[in-house]
């Protein structure tokens, strides 16, 4: 593979400057890329001149690292080589020779039905009056667990997304993709109590000053509620409630494709992670519903 007249360190800094200028990468991201790239260069020498045999050294050097760490380091190098290829610094991409660890997607944490009930009981008791703060917490809880919204989707909901006639929210998810999300009758009822007492003059359903409630504040409110409900604060987050929404729907017999649509997943492989938590129900379903379930074994 052809090398470069410029040193490897200079090329790395050029690449990092591009990340900052063209992609708006944060300072912490730039620092992480620099560590990974310079660490790889310490092992194989000039990265721009490294060939397949050189890159094989990385697999041995990274052998004791966690798969996720190896994946991150390889990703940094692939992007670096893609940049060099675009710039004409190298004539062939050595990226395919980089280590590709098999990473396992972490299993989602969930709340069981009893914990969800305790959380709602606490929130409902606190929201019996018309005080805005507890009503807001109850509405957010209803939409996180009842509709499976992401934290960012929830806090940034515009007031115009609230259903008038049809029981649906229009949600803008990742990548700017809009989807329709059903809203339970319970949530509609609490929304009708929340809207008259919320801060007026804001375009957001959950206003905070001139903007909307932050994700950080949402996390804090949920953890405080969990503590009052006797649930360890470490066990709860907006994403845990979204996981519970998905898992409990599967337990109730929801179709995986329907769940994919409700969660706004672009790839059903992302949705399939929820199937592991329902294995006991699936075994029971086969034993109870399969045509051979009631047929006795012959002697």
| 3-state class percentages of the chain: helix first, strand second, coil last, to nearest 5 | 60, 5, 30
97 tagged catalytic: no
Q: What was the pLDDT predicted at 283?
A: 61
Is the pLDDT assigned to residue 178 strictly greater than 70? yes
Round to whole Å and give the CA distance between 149 and 263.
Answer: 7
243 catalytic per annotation: no
- If pLDDT is split at 50, 70 and 90, which confidence band does 105 have? low
Query: From the candidates 100, 198, 228, 239, which is the catalytic residue?
Result: 239
Q: Which of 136, 150, 212, 248 is catalytic?
A: 150
Q: What average pLDDT does this structure show over 130-145?
A: 93
- The alpha carbon of 175 is separated from its chain's Cα centroid by a whole number of angstroms, namely 13
- pLDDT, tens digit, for every residue of 64-96? 888 888 888 988 898 898 888 888 888 888 888
Which CATH number applies to 113-285: 3.30.70.980, 3.20.20.70, 1.10.1520.10, 1.10.443.10?
1.10.443.10
Enter the pTM of the model: 0.59
Choosing from 174, 257, 276, 290, the catalytic residue is 174
In the chain, pLDDT over 90 holds for what percent of residues? 32
Is residue 242 annotated as part of the catalytic site, yes or no?
A: yes
Question: Which residue out of 265, 276, 281, 295 is catalytically annotated?
Answer: 265
Q: For this structure, is 33 an active site residue?
A: no
Which tens digits make up the pLDDT trace of 223-272?
Answer: 999 999 999 998 899 989 988 888 888 887 777 787 787 888 777 777 77
- Would you list the domain boundaries of the chain? 8-97, 113-285
CB atoms within 10 A of CB 118: 17
Contacts 24+ apart (CB under 8 A), 198-206: 198/132, 198/136, 199/132, 202/159, 203/158, 203/159, 203/160, 204/156, 204/157, 204/158, 204/159, 205/157, 205/158, 205/159, 205/161, 205/162, 206/136, 206/139, 206/140, 206/154, 206/155, 206/157
User: 8-97, what's its fold?
Assistant: DNA polymerase; domain 1 (1.10.150)
Q: Is the pLDDT of residue 201 over 80?
A: yes
**Identified catalytic residue from 136, 242, 243, 248:** 242
């Amino acid at each position: 593979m052809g090398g470069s007249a410029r040193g490897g360190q200079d090329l790395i800094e050029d690449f990092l400057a591009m990340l900052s200028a063209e992609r708006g990468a944060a300072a912490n991201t730039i620092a992480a890329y620099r560590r990974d790239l310079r660490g790889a260069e310490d092992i194989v020498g000039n990265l721009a001149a490294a060939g397949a045999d050189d890159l094989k050294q990385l697999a041995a050097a990274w052998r004791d690292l966690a798969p996720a760490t190896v994946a991150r380091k390889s990703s940094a190098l692939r992007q670096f080589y893609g940049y060099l290829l675009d710039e004409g610094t190298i004539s062939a991409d050595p990226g395919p020779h980089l280590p590709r660890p098999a990473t396992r997607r972490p299993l989602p944490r969930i709340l069981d039905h009893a914990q969800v009930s305790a959380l709602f009981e606490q929130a409902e008791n606190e929201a019996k009056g018309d005080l805005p703060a507890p009503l807001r917490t109850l509405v957010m809880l209803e939409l996180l667990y009842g509709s499976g919204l992401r934290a960012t989707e929830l806090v940034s909901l515009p007031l115009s997304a609230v259903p008038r006639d049809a029981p649906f929210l229009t949600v803008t998810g990742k990548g700017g993709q809009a989807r329709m999300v059903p809203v339970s009758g319970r949530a509609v009822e609490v929304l009708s109590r929340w809207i008259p007492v919320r801060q007026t003059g804001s375009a957001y359903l959950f206003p905070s000053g001139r903007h909307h409630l932050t994700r950080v504040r949402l996390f804090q409110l949920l953890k405080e509620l969990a503590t009052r409900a006797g649930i360890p604060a470490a066990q709860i987050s907006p994403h845990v409630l979204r996981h519970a929404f998905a898992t409990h729907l599967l337990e109730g017999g929801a179709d995986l494709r329907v769940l994919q649509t409700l969660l706004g997943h672009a790839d059903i492989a992302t949705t399939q992670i929820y199937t592991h938590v329902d294995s006991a129900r699936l075994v029971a379903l086969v034993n109870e519903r399969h045509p051979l379930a009631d047929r006795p074994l012959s002697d």
